[in-house]
Amino acid sequence: MKINPLIFRCYDIRGIVDKDLNVKNVEAIGKAYGTFLNRRKIRQAVAGRDCRLSGQKFKSAFIRGLISTGVNVIDLGMVMTQMVYYGQYRFQVNGGAMITASHNPFNYNGFKLAVGFSKTTEIEEVQEIRKYVEMENFYQPKNIGKITKANIKEDYFNDVLKRIKLNKKFKVVVDFRHGTPAMYVPELLRRAGCEVISKRDNIDGSFPAGTPDPTDEDFIKELAQVVIKEKADFGLGFDGDGDRIGAVDETGRILWNDVLVAIFAKEILERFPGSKIIYNTLCSRVVPEVVKQNNGIPIIWRTGHSFIKSKIAEENAAFGGELSGHFYFNDNAYGYDDGSYAALRILEYLSDKNTTLSKLYQTFSQYHYVSSPEIKIGCPDEKKIEIIKNLSQKFKADFPNARMTDDTVIPGDDGTRADFSDGMIIFRYSQNGPYITVKFEAKDQMVYDQRKKYVREMLKSYPEMIWEDELCVNLDHLNKT
């Protein structure tokens, strides 16, 4: 079967609906995943979807392909991604598929595919699935699989809530931008004892208010305004499938997710000193500095939920986190990314300390950086790897005294990061779409502005970059002088 090979990315499958993905090739992907599972003697899987407009027809096609290989499927319906991961534990099945494109625009869709408990596909496994699709080499069983349906909301809620105890009532604003988590999160927070102000919670897979991406400053600024107006204790923004969050404190200050990584790390290290903490290459220097200060072992690793989960398992780390808002708790949870559980963990820490998020943030004052958010600039899939390789050579030459992290340090890494005594710069290409990601920071504004100018001019030197694109995020932070 002819299919765009670029949709088979480094850990997920993602493409544009009706261009890269249609009912016919989605069914073939289901067959390929079923073949992949059968080769591993896995004959059961759970499956779910988010609220995207193509979600229902793609889930039906995918499951049709999956059962044709003899795999029995438990259909979870419309759920958050973490509920698929939880469903694997609930039903004790190694297979799992979530039909979602996460933070990509409404016209995208895709697949997160499990290869065991708290583990999802990586490069070799995604390419194995691609090979089966292209060759139409599918497992032929004696009997097709069966489909059963299950509603796991209560089981999931009970599992999360038994791990959380709030000693005070919080007033929480949650903005969903019409994404899937609106179906579950308000009730979960209320059951935990919160007063919840729910915004844009009518589910609409066309995302009329814009893509629910919690790394998008425009989205989180809108949330901050409501937090201030409602005099709330905390603000949360969710992505479209629920496994990522963005946060605002009670003053309306946006806390980028690498700061939350540091906060979570500090809380865990108070209880488990000496633990390993995994963080991705996009995170601020605040993360390793806080980890070291609190007697932990910081380990920088490759960006991407599959890579971080694997590294947590390999290192037996207590926690991992990414700038994108994926948080992985391995102290009393399953080690997979769950935005709703992460939100409750923040509140539990505030409850235990009897403090506010702004006061907690102030305890990090010695680690404060002038720091950009994650900035995304469009770049064709077929050009982005070449551009980053070429750019990295210039980058290393321009900063010979910086500590460089690239694929010679982290095998297979997708960019180059320079660490200085007073901050960092990173250029990398995305695994999830046709764009390049950058971040930069410094201890003072003047150096920050110099680094911003350097990053902007470096990217402007490549005519292939697309500066007006639906995938661009936070460009104001790069263009402001």
Q: Known catalytic residues?
A: 102
- Alpha helical stretches, state H, 40-119: 55-67, 81-91
What are the b/e assignments for 148-175, b being 16+ CB within 10 Å? Answer: eeeebbebbbebbbeebebeeebebbbb
CB 424 within 8 A of CB 433: no
CB 126 within 8 A of CB 11: yes
**Cβ neighbours for 271, distance < 8 A, ≥ 6 positions apart:** 331
Degrees, nearest 5: CA angle 285-289-294 = 150
CB atoms within 10 A of CB 297: 16
Placement of tokens 């030197």 in the chain: 461
Q: Spell out the SS3 assignment of 357-415.
A: HHHHHHCCHHHCCEECCCEEEECCHHHHHHHHHHHHHHHHHHCCCCEEECCCCCCCCCE
Of the candidates 160, 180, 202, 203, the one whose C-alpha atom is nearest the C-alpha of residue 49 is 180
**Cβ neighbours for 130, distance < 8 A, ≥ 6 positions apart:** 3, 5, 8, 32
First-to-last C-alpha distance (Å) of the chain: 49
Of the candidates 299, 295, 294, 323, the one whose C-alpha atom is nearest the C-alpha of residue 313 is 299
